Amino acid sequence: MNAHGHWLKSSVTGAASLAATLLGLLVLTFFIGRALPVDPVLAVVGEHASADVYERTRIEMGLDQPVTVQFARYLGRVLNADLGTSVVSGQPVLRDLASFFPATFELATVAMLIGALVGIPAGVLAAVHRNRWPDVLVRITGLVGYSAPVFWLGIVGLVVFYVTLGWVGGPGRLDTLYQYSIEERTGLVLIDTLLAGSWDGFVNALSHLLLPAVVLAWHTAAYLSRMTRALMIDELNSEYILAARMKGLSDWRVVWRHAFINIRVPLLTSAALAYAYLLEGAVVTETVFAWPGIGMYITQSLFSADLPAVLGATTLIGLLFLMLNRFVDWLYPRLDARIKS
């Protein structure tokens, strides 16, 4: 089979795999929604509605139909980019998600950058100095960040750095002074404040973003440092590393130009999983910091028994995981030619 045939076969297989995974995601999401102890009819009509109103609404929502028919209708709506209408806001769920997602994207991206810039070099340092004090320090710091409850870190951070020291902004994305004076263009407050030419607004937005980002980044850095350390230890014990050292290559070249290059692919998988976790909406962190992202949207929807909003947000999170996995699969052969062959 020629190269074009291989490419076509791979594309068809990838598309079929993606479709099957997406279908499985929708099936799982639908039936989890049905298993929740929430009556979607009561969420619409209220607890004091009459039996006639309740039954009429139930029929209008299609809940009198068999489950297979309900799922077929749900699948058709999703494929048409219709995630239903939120009971609370009265708007299409897709529009709600579009307004809440930028906050999560901004927080997750900043947290991921901090976590990667700290965690990966820390893991390399720990592997190079295995069982010595730098390794012990990285492992203890990572253990605290990985095992400490996120809500506890968030509350302690607010008490110390916001209430006591006043070094950072409080809950929310902006102070009230800037919240209604900055035009929302992208939904990303750091960019919107710069586009508005408000340097004070940018600093204020950064002060609100810094603490929740660091709390999430600590957990991410702990995970990445542990994975980097384990991968680097295996590489540094390889025979080709011993041969490189015997040739007189510098430690910097051996570590970064030889060992680290060869752990890029598995490390990329770990980083993608960490970023997907952040993008799914760190529910507890967003709740503690009153951060208006996907996590807070899901929390509010659950408390309000807003089933369409919960299912829509869950579907979006699943799609994000699929997209990240596909992106990583696309990136693999571009980082390592052996995978392409």
Distance of CA 205 to the CA centre of its chain: 21
Per-residue pLDDT tens for 144-190?
888 888 888 889 999 999 999 889 888 888 888 887 788 888 889 99
Per-residue pLDDT tens for 295-327?
888 888 877 777 888 888 888 888 888 888 788
Global pTM value: 0.84
CA-to-CA distance for 285 and 295, rounded, in angstroms? 8
Q: Is the pLDDT of residue 47 over 60?
A: yes
Say if CB 178 and CB 201 are below 8 A apart: yes
Neighbours of 176 (CB within 10 A): 8
Domains in the chain, please, with CATH?
A: 3-79 (no CATH), 93-340 (1.10.3720.10)
**Burial of 52 per CB tally in 10 Å (0-12, 13-18, 19+):** exposed
With pLDDT > 90 as the criterion, what percentage of the chain qualifies?
Answer: 22
Predicted confidence at residue 10, as pLDDT, reads 57
107 closest CA partner among 260, 294, 238? 294
Per-residue pLDDT tens for 108-128?
999 999 999 999 999 999 998
Distance of CA 259 to the CA centre of its chain: 29
